[in-house]
Structure 1
């Protein structure tokens, strides 16, 4: 394979667009759907680009597509170049800037973490309109005209262009009024409480199961006072706030409830706060929207909010739990 020697040998724009889409999705099929091409057409364009560059850009494995080290470096360069072209084109286009930011995320993340914080964004940036589409399906940003996605997934699913917001821990939480009536100082004490269960209809969140939590902390499952089952996680948290039982709280999604004292986490010993080794919340921005000032403003605000996530809410929760214990 002969390497490029001068600027006249720069790859065609169609090849670069195919590579950028395939690298972002880590899928020739998804890249083809975005570009209205067949999977085989995208594959041929990638092969042509690799031949022109003289280096492999992807590792092709069974049902898995990964970027090589050279592919990762080239992806960053191509992404920046295409973003520059989009920005230059946007500056030449007549008309005012689109000040709408279209965001997609899960129902749970939206209701428990994002929506309570959006009021601050609106106060700081009243000129920007946020359209929030909350659902639990993976959306194609480019095809559906969406700007930003926030998802809880593995790095592989999130893609190489994704930015990590934060991880997640799971620990028992309950209302301070319920805790004041009965001690919860060790996992064995859960036998005196009603346990609130999240029944994931698609079985995509096994780490939110009490069975898994007991297994991870290496304790035999206890027989609780009773159980309540819900098909939506935000319903589980509402029931916990209402004093109906003990829920498995997702930190930092419920940090707001820990800070305002509507929930406490008395078992915040590290042994009892489980977490997923390979999953986190990821921010993905559409390539078409990446250079728009309104989208950049929103993503910068979101990253600042995510950076503020720390141990402070947990410390307050533990303090509240200790105070509730002393009142008994």
Structure 2
């Protein structure tokens, strides 16, 4: 199947031809394209030489399409129009008062969303769009204004504006804790019914890595029940299905409400932290700056 690059020597010549054919004028085409009339004339002459056929009949004050020029122009105008329509259909609108925020499902669900009402009350004019994905965002693709990422800097695609470490410890429902007893020896925890999580990112803490951080060995690679989203794992734990690893800052509300309880007082403190990130090389809008300032303030040292 022939391709455009194989069929013509220059895509710029096609652009000049399409504009001149639509306007019936090299001068008007040049004005639309932001070039000189001579440049348009050269591009069209180059196309005619490439096709070995004239596309315009030139007179002193006007140009007219030849029969072959009309055939090409009808196809080009339709094709360029369809391309333009498709581009507009897929283009994300640039809205200065909208901030697009990225975070994991767990961080959005347990930490960010419960706090958003405070920001929206302070800045009702700013619109927020929250994108929650467990796979790591690449801020170089341009779709996000600010991201909360769990990991260790430096980051190739972003700079960190604030960070917040966390403690991780086993938690379960109060009913399960009543069944297994009020005091659990550390080396008995791995024998309990464990709830695990599929690792979508290497930084996410697994039972074997948590066990190694607190000096235990023998943790199973896969738990008795496994989930691919942390929110599901937490709700299974609240339903009494087993013991799950709990992040203090994510689960502070559930722990305070007594919906989850700690199984041991021995936490692990991973080297990773939560980071507020801006894309490298991007100048933030006023709305993004206001939201980021608020988010950084939420990350300030203090109780979870």
| TM-score scaled by length of structure 2 | 0.60
* Residue 178 (str. 1) matches residue 173 (str. 2): no
1:132 and 1:266 mapped to 2: Cα distance?
Answer: 33
Shift of 1:238: 1.1
Partner of 2:152: 154
CA RMSD of aligned residues (A): 2.8
Deviation per CA, 1:262-297: give whole Å up to 9, x if none. 1122412xxx211222x211112245442x332122
Contact 1:289 1:295 in 2 (8 A): no
Give secondary structure in 2 for the equivalent of 1:162: strand
Change (3 A) 1:123 1:160: closer
Give secondary structure in 1 for the equivalent of 2:116: helix
* Residue 303 (str. 1) matches residue 278 (str. 2): no
Partner of 2:225: 228
Shift of 1:220: 3.9
1:140 and 1:199 mapped to 2: Cα distance?
Answer: 21
Shift of 1:197: 1.0
- The total of aligned residue pairs comes to 207
2:282 and 2:219 mapped to 1: Cα distance?
Answer: 52
Partner of 2:101: 103
* Residue 214 (str. 1) matches residue 214 (str. 2): no
Unaligned regions of 5+ residues in structure 1, if any?
1-96, 314-328
* Residue 237 (str. 1) matches residue 234 (str. 2): yes
Unaligned regions of 5+ residues in structure 2, if any?
1-94
Contact 1:172 1:266 in 2 (8 A): yes
Shift of 1:182: 2.6
Contact 1:197 1:228 in 2 (8 A): yes
2:219 and 2:143 mapped to 1: Cα distance?
Answer: 48
Deviation per CA, 1:84-126: give whole Å up to 9, x if none. xxxxxxxxxxxxx821111112222222211222122223322
Looking at CA atoms only, which structure, 1 or 2, has the larger radius of gyration? 2
Change (3 A) 1:154 1:168: same
Shift of 1:192: 6.5
Shift of 1:184: 4.6
Contact 1:167 1:280 in 2 (8 A): yes
Shift of 1:203: 5.6
| TM-score scaled by length of structure 1 | 0.56
Partner of 1:273: 267
Give secondary structure in 2 for the equivalent of 1:282: strand
Deviation per CA, 1:165-221: give whole Å up to 9, x if none. 201221011122322233252224436732111121x462463x2222223222343
Deviation per CA, 1:289-324: give whole Å up to 9, x if none. 42x3321221111112122652xx5xxxxxxxxxxx
Change (3 A) 1:141 1:241: same
Shift of 1:142: 5.7
Deviation per CA, 1:243-272: give whole Å up to 9, x if none. 21111112212112112221122412xxx2
Partner of 1:283: 276
1:191 and 1:156 mapped to 2: Cα distance?
Answer: 34
Change (3 A) 1:155 1:205: closer
